[in-house]
């Protein structure tokens, strides 16, 4: 799949592929935002897909799971550092699904917005 990431011009195709790799994670979903994608798990933003690259939020538990197999990267200018996941690891559905579950479980509960009166 590595060649696929570099040859396709479609951000949507890459985002759909990543979501398909997470088919065992029942609550995983995408939301298009500003021309890129936010990846949600259990209603928490766990990762961003920007410029056809996957940036997973850094958590202590996620770092233990990944070990030295990631580079820190920035999804966009001014963003917090994230784990930049290599395309080879994205191809490993079981590994990627576990990382997303661990990350979601490690993040605080999602904020619920209050509607204006």
Residues 6+ apart with CB under 8 A from 82: 47, 48, 55, 56, 57, 58, 72, 73, 74, 75
Domain residue limits, the chain: 2-106
| 59-103 pLDDT tens trace | 999 999 998 767 899 998 999 999 999 999 999 999 999 999 999
| 15-64 pLDDT tens trace | 999 999 999 998 999 999 888 999 999 999 999 999 999 999 999 999 99
What does DSSP say about strands 53-57 and 71-74: parallel, antiparallel, or unpaired?
unpaired
Instruction: Write the CATH number of the domain with boundaries 2-106.
Output: 3.30.1460.30
Cα 69 to Cα 12: distance, rounded to the nearest angstrom: 26
User: What pLDDT is recorded for position 4?
Assistant: 53
Measured from the Cβ of residue 117, the count of other Cβ atoms closer than 10 Å reads 3
17 phi and psi, to 5 degrees?
Answer: -65, -45
Q: State the DSSP code for 61.
A: H
Q: Which tokens hold the place of 94?
A: 């079981």
């Amino acid at each position: 799949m590595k060649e696929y990431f570099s040859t396709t011009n479609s951000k949507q195709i890459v985002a759909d592929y990543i979501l398909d790799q997470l088919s065992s994670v029942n609550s995983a979903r995408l939301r298009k935002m500003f021309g890129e994608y936010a990846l949600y798990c259990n209603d928490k933003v766990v990762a961003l897909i920007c410029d056809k690259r996957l940036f997973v939020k850094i958590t202590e538990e996620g770092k233990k799971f990944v070990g030295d197999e990631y580079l820190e990267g920035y999804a966009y200018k001014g963003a917090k550092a994230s784990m930049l996941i290599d395309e080879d690891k994205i191809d490993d559905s079981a590994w990627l699904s576990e990382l997303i579950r661990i990350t979601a479980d490690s993040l605080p509960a999602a904020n619920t917005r209050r509607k204006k009166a």
